[in-house]
Structure 1
Amino acid sequence: MLRRLLLSLLALTGISTAADAPPNIVMIISDDHLWSDYAFMGHPVIQTPNLDRLAKESLTFTRGYVPCSLCCPSLAAIITGLYPHQHKVTSNDPPIPAGMKPRDFQSSPQFDAGREIVSKHLEEAGTLPTMLKQKGYFSLQTGKWWQKSYERGGFTHGMTHGGRHGDEGLNIGRKTMQPVYDFITEAQKQQKPFFVWYAPMMPHDPHTPPKRLLDKYKDKAPSEHVAKYWAMVDWFDETCGELIKHIDDRGLRENTIFVYLSDNGWITNPKTGRYAEKSKQSQYDGGLRTPIMIRWPGHVQPKMSEDLAQSIDLVPTLLKAVGISPTKTFPGIDLLDPAAVTARKTLYGECFTHNFVDLNVPASSLRWRWIISGHDKLIIPDKTNQPDDIVELYDLKADPTEEKNLAAENADKVKTLSSKLDSWWKP
């Protein structure tokens, strides 16, 4: 009764609540977050009640992946629906000129010129906010954003104006949620469907959680560094809960698609507080795997799925959901199409250097290509950038942390999977 009264009041104020209006989209992107560091994914200590609830209400793919384990190209893949070698945003930063110190480089004309080239690559690839404009969507950028102003990504509204990876946008979640709430209010006043990119720098370092949360974990973690990271995950979960509640309390629950994933993984080194080898920037699941959730009440049946999903699937999935016909072919699938999900048995990915080698040649920055077929995972190193690495093959079902390399005793499987990988992309 109260809900019906609220919807009636919203209608009287001129705010659109039509059931047939294009659905709103809220995309939550965690930053540097290990795939298993959620209560619903089995972590024995970390508390994530809001994300647990979202997972329960969503079609949740527990075997989700991003194609690469580095922030900038991963985010570009999410927003374009393309692999890094296709959108050409393969790395975080431009090449450093010989003899220049990294700190000096970031304030140099060469750095700015390089970032301009990268931003143009993203524009040429096409972004989800740009595609949503044909349906009249307002779109808001908050949090992590590498490509200069939010406008370069096609957003109509945003917080980032040109800083290396977010500037004012990095205040979201850590300091305030108000820009998101103000944007939703404005979109409703204008009777516009909206898209929110909520990508706070959380639980990303600096790991500076509130004392109340650090106190919750400091006696349960193997070190203070780990406790701080665990507390950051908890803090991030709180902000997600606030955002979800805000949407639901405004009567927008049924007509809003929530999407959740992480841009890449993170494992805290308990001694240093930095990331461990098999996480961020690596070719391993610790850097590549993430749960992927889609909540759309009345349209998407909640389910925990072990089928394979990938971040590049989100653009074609969302375009189909809002009734937009793609103007090009995407490599991903519609995650709301059960037949397509069941038929898929293979994922592909690629990892690149932190700084570009050549801004216009994706293969020049390649470190590894990888393929998952069922539970087999093959990793092929690039001979130029990883000359000392060997081919790796893992059984992810028996060995989820990729400890035992099976390549030497499975030559035929290596050959078969290598052939598939080359058919996908051979530099």
Structure 2
Amino acid sequence: MKLILLNKNCKRITVSFFFFFISVCVAFGQSEKPNIIYILSDDQSWTDYGFMGHPHIETPRIDELAAEGLTFTRGYVTAPLCSPSLASIITGLYPHQHGITGNDPEFTFEKPRYQTDWQTARSRLYKDYLDEFQKHPTVPQLLQKLGYVSFQSGKWWGGHWKEGGFTDGMTHGDPKRGGRHGDEGLKIGREGMTPIFDFMDQAIADKDPFFIWYAPFLPHSPHTPPDSLLQKYLPKAPTQAVAAYWAMCEWLDITVGQLLDKVEEEGLTDNTLVVFVTDNGWIQDPERPNRYAPGSKQDPQDMGIRTPIIYKWPGKITPRMDTQNLTSSIDMAVTTLEAVGLDPLPNMQGINVLDKKALSKRKQIYSMDFSHDMVAVEKPEQTLESRMVISGSWKLIDPGAANGDNQEVLLYDILKDPMETKNLADSHPKVVKKLLASLDKWWPGGSGPN
């Protein structure tokens, strides 16, 4: 009897140890999944950071992030406009694929834009574009398979945060309450970081790995920085409008520091992948406050599409300032998924930038410029203004059907001429031919969403 009881006890001990072992493995596995934070600047030139050499703008916390991460100074976004650019970041697809090529659908309305009636009418027409976008899984949706919780804050064009695959968030998307591009989410950063910090606290308490979309309305207009920052830049800037924009850039930097400090305080730095990018560029008009100058936002020049891109993950990513390799915001989804052990979806267009072989094999990257207003989700070529390809030192801009300003092919040596002042197309016809062929192979401009 004692032997039988002993056997039974032993069996219980064995079973109990087995489940203990499994629980430890599960907990260990969860701790190994990195938390992920996307920091998305809004309307900022690639030149407007301390580490990128700006003589006046101070961005010490982003500079620190750049020094501690793998920083690509030759990064690009998929479009010089926020809605298509952000949609590409979260899906890993180009605008002509995910269906969001502009900010708003084109329609005639008697009353001024952005009023409640206009918002309601826009929402009805925007549904076709949102339906197309939602056919494609987002990064937070895919991460949820591994138990991630996720939080949306800041700029967001995809309706309610739930429609983007987030488990929590701020944006409601209701047009009757101003829902268009972020609504309540646009308070983040400008009015503090509490919603993100509360989410982090809950995820930590629940022992859930988390994904944070931090896309503050910074340095985006209205340029209303704290007065202390404005006063700091007024003596340095040529005009008050420029000073206000410069101050907004530092305000963004301060909030980035607050977020990274929270990560550090919670002991999560070593197990957190931080990715930084800007949605599109900006040149501040010196005479008109809150206005951008030509050649930046909504334009195909580098001041509209170029951005530094930073990946920081201590112990996993070796810090390095990469001034040679070309990268794109299209890479963020693929890189993130592979970092957590998930296979990217077959139609995702980027590469894992942590894969040195893939990075070295890349010969060119692409971008595209569409009209602000969209005509038809199934015919993106109707509002195509330019296709862009960057290959080595060359950049080619090919005009599309909606480009009413210029139908001339533009070719620049952007290493020698980063401000794109001299068109070399006539003197390098072979380069033009080769790059046009590359563009047509990538997307001829008439295939529609796929």
Aligned equivalent of 2:198:
182
| Secondary structure in 1 matching 2:269 | coil
Residue 265 of structure 2 aligns with an amino acid whose one-letter code is D
1:211 Cα deviation after fit: 0.6
* 1:216–1:384 Cα change, 3 Å: closer
* 3-state SS of 2:374 partner: coil
Q: Deviations over 1:166-189 (max 9, x none)?
A: 110000000010000000011111
Residue of structure 1 equivalent to 2:189: 173
Q: How far did residue 202 of structure 1 move?
A: 0.1
- Matched residue count: 412
Question: Hey, what does 1:218 align to over in structure 2?
Answer: 234
- Kindly tell me: are residues 269 and 197 of structure 1, through their superposed partners in 2, closer, same or farther at Cα, counting changes over 3 Å? same
TM-score relative to the length of structure 2: 0.89
The percentage of counterpart residues that share the same residue type is: 48
Structural mapping, 1:4-153, within 5 Å: 20-97=31-108, 101-103=112-114, 107=118, 109-153=120-164
1:297 corresponds to which of 314, 337, 340: 314
Moved more, 80-89 or 326-335: 326-335
Residues 1:103 and 1:48: Cα distance change in structure 2 (over 3 Å): closer
Deviation at 1:231, TM superposition (A): 0.3
What displacement does 1:345 show? 2.1
Q: In 2, Cα distance between the equivalents of 1:39 and 1:166?
A: 28
The equivalent of 2:326 in structure 1 is 308
Change (3 A) 1:99 1:208: closer
Within 2, Cα distance between the matches of 1:187 and 1:234?
A: 29
**Equivalent residue in structure 2 for 1:409, among 416, 427, 436:** 427
Q: Is the 8 A contact 2:49 2:58 kept in 1?
A: yes
2:438 aligns to what? 420
Aligned to 1:202: 218
CA displacement 1:293-338 (0-9 Å, x = unmatched): 0000010000000211100001010000001123423211001101
Contact preservation (8 Å) 1:96, 1:105:
no
Cα 1:347/1:256, change in 2 over 3 Å: same
CA contact (8 A) 1:207 1:229 kept: yes
2:404 corresponds to 1:393:
no
**CA shift digits 1:185-231 (9 cap, x unpaired):** 11111111000000000000000000110111001001100000000
Structure 1: 5+ residue runs without aligned partners? 1-15
Q: Distance in 2 between matches of 1:64 and 1:305?
A: 10
Distance 1:399 1:302 in 2: 28
TM-score between both structures, scaled by the size of structure 1: 0.94
Q: Is the 8 A contact 2:109 2:118 kept in 1?
A: no
Deviations 1:137-165 (A, max 9, x none): 10000000011100110000000001111
| Structure of greater Rg | 2
The reply on whether 1:233 has 2:249 as its aligned counterpart is: yes
Equivalent position amino acid for 2:66 in 1 = A
CA shift in 2, pair 1:398/1:128, >3 Å: same
- After superposition, residues 261-300 of structure 1 pair within 5 angstroms as 261-273=277-289, 274-300=291-317
SS in 1 for 2:270: coil
**Distance between the aligned counterparts of 1:49 and 1:139, measured in 2?**
28
Counterparts of 1:352 and 1:105, CA distance in 2: 26
1:330 and 2:348 are equivalent in the alignment? yes
**Residue deviations 1:80-115, cap 9 Å, x none?**
000001111100001113766534686354311122
Give the Cα separation in 2 of the matches to 1:368 and 1:88.
Answer: 17
3-state DSSP of counterpart to 1:61: strand
Distance 2:52 2:363 in 1: 22
For residues 62 and 403 of structure 2, the distance between their equivalents in structure 1, rounded to whole angstroms, comes to: 38
Q: CA 1:374 to 1:186, structure 2 compared with 1: closer, same or farther past 3 Å?
A: same
Amino acid in structure 1 at the alignment position of 2:210? F
- Separation in 1 of the partners of 2:344 and 2:327? 20
Unaligned runs of 5+ in 2: 1-26, 174-178, 446-450
Could you tell me how far 1:388 is from its partner in structure 2? 3.8
Inter-partner Cα distance in structure 1 for 2:81 and 2:200: 30
Q: Measure how far apart 1:272 and its partner are.
A: 1.1
Q: Distance in 1 between matches of 2:115 and 2:56?
A: 42
Which one-letter code corresponds to 2:292 in the other structure?
Y
Distance 1:305 1:198, change over 3 A: same
Structure 2 counterpart of 1:360: 378
Distance (whole Å) between structure 2 residues aligned to residue 98 and residue 51 of structure 1: 42
Give 1:266's aligned amino acid: W
- SS of the residue aligned with 2:86? helix
